[in-house]
A and B are shown apart, each in its own frame.
Chain A
Amino acid sequence: MELSMTAKKNFAEFTLATEFTVTGSRVGVFGVSGSGKSTLVSMLAGTVTPDTGEIILDGDCLFSSSRGINLRPDQRRIAMVFQQHSLFSHLSVKNNLLYGFKRCREEHRTIDFNVLVEVLQLEDILCRDVTNLSGGEKQRVALGRAIMANPRLLLMDEPLSALDDSLRFQIIPYLKSVSSNFGIPYLFISHSLVEMRLMVDNVLFFEKGALIEQSSSEQLARNRMGQSPVGYINILELSSMTERNGLCVYRWQGGELLLSQANSATGSGLFELSSKDIILFKKHPEAISARNLLQCTVINLFESGTKMGVELECNTGRLIAEIVPDAARELDIVIGSVVHAAIKASAFRRLATTQATPEQIQ
């Protein structure tokens, strides 16, 4: 997908003005509430008309104020998944799924209904009334309905924000299947950097209606570390839990990590660990209350605001710790230094329980 957009839209107390070209099949739009993300996708979908500008998708002009072009939403082949599932309550699950498919031209129909039902695991609910579905089921049906419309671009406007934490990360593999299983490029909108890193490769970062930065999702997370109250979020996939002295032992990249039971629940899963929760020691400490002490090698150093990010290689896994420049001087940290990282067992937070195919998530 190649999307080129120049647009300006004035509202009473807000103006969105942007100009960018982005390529790739997994693109994100990141920003806090009120930054203009939803206005941007509405302009792409055609439900909001820019005052001036031009929108070109894969060489086709969708909107041009100078040429007087403004395709209606139904003429753009851009489907959308919304914050609220927005299913049609008068139709069954199956007929919701087929709504866009029936309106799609024969030559554009490439998605197989049975494959979609299998990938999104909708077999058991096909004949059900949509009002009786759980939040996660509704979002999967909404996603399936958008995919079945065979769009050339799928817009996902904060599709996880209405779901609770445990459900949110269970839905992510399904969202990623849009690109991986069905070959449809998507534009994923969110105010969560963790979601961005799990969902997209390239990110457009918006603030107060303007494009601030265009980079990879990983780079954006590192750049934002110094300003974020939660720092950089390390995402770890942990497996094979056992119990030892009241703590849970997880395998991680050939080594092991101890987690407190309250934060680890049960089974393998995806966990987050803030860069602020990692303490670095120059020498192996004699005694320490933190239950995880890892010997690591510094492989990268970067600045983010007033903070310094230290990328560590521990066993075969990688972590990013956050320190202040004074601490870096005291630790004599340079690339190649060996340090010891201490992490409390309670610092980990479970994002999702992974099943047989955790690679779907990462």
Chain B
Amino acid sequence: MLLTDSDIQSIWLTAKLASVVTVILLIVGTPIAWWLARTKSWLKGPLGAVVALPLVLPPSVLGFYLLLAMGPNGPVGHLTRALGIGALPFTFWGLVIASVFYSLPFMVQPLQNTFESIGDHPLEVAATLGASPLDAFFTVALPLARPGFLTASIMTFAHTVGEFGVVLMIGGNIPGVSRVASVQIYDHVEALEYSQAHSMAAVMMVFSFLVLLGLYVWRPSALKMSRRD
């Protein structure tokens, strides 16, 4: 039940991918969630549906369209080539972009729910105490939403770790570049290396359990933290 160098490399790549995707989604997802939580625009419905699409779409469908878009003849592919970056499919950053789209609802929806539950009132109170809208966002909304950020980050990280279909479509199976843990397990099974597959699967199982345990155990303490000065 020992992990090979290749297994460890895939686990490291998975952790790196999930970390980068979580950080990017914290930056990108927060304003989207804030807008969806507070807007009265008719665009809220359509944009909310677009954000939630990865929840219902087969990963291969999302992967297929992303592959087309990022491919040499796709609009993103044209852009990246014009910028001198080259083609993104089958690269780590191609995988990152695909994962960002695929995990978007796991960041946006918990944050949107949190912002909606906070409501307008604390922000109005802050405004009557002299806080500008941006000031109120950073000093009231964000601290109050801390438990939501914790949940969203854990969910996003865990979901990215478990990706398979989109990874295979966009990243392929290149060791050290796009062979993440789920693809490594698939490889072991295909090669009838059940002992290796067991080891990797056990690691993934323990990781998933710990993530959920963290969510259930740390969340109350995060709530307390958010109330502290």
Contact = CB atoms under 8 A, between A and B. Distances in A.
Interface in B123-137: 124-133, 135
A53 B15 CA distance: 59
A86 B122 contact: yes
A132 B228 CA distance: 12
B146 interface: yes
B229 interface: yes
A80 interface: yes
Nearest to A76: B128
B6 to A, nearest CB: 46
Contacts of A99: 126, 129, 131, 139
B143 interface: yes
B128 A88 contact: no
Interface stretch (A89-97, A225-233, A303-311): A89-97
A104 interface: yes
B144 A89 contact: yes
A244 interface: no
A47 interface: yes
A79 interface: yes
B121 interface: yes
B226 interface: yes
Contacts, number: 76
A82 B125 contact: yes
A73 B127 contact: yes
A48 to B, nearest CB: 10
Contact of B226 (A79, A90, A100): A90
B219 to A, nearest CB: 15
A335 to B, nearest CB: 49
Contact of A90 (B125, B131, B133, B228): B228
Contacts of B132: 72, 74
Interface string A187-226: 0000000000000000000000000000000000000000
A46 interface: yes
A100 B229 contact: no
A104 B121 CA distance: 21
Nearest to B130: A103
Interface in A241-294: none
Given A90-B146, A129-B228, A131-B227, 6 more contacts: A46-B127, A74-B128, A80-B128, A86-B122, A90-B143, A99-B139
Interface of B: 121-122, 124-133, 135, 139-140, 143-144, 146, 226-229
Q: Which 3 A-B pairs have the closest CB atoms?
A: A100-B129, A103-B130, A73-B127
20 contacts: A72-B132, A73-B124, A74-B127, A74-B128, A74-B131, A80-B125, A86-B122, A86-B125, A88-B140, A92-B229, A94-B229, A95-B229, A99-B126, A99-B139, A100-B129, A103-B130, A129-B227, A131-B227, A145-B129, A149-B129
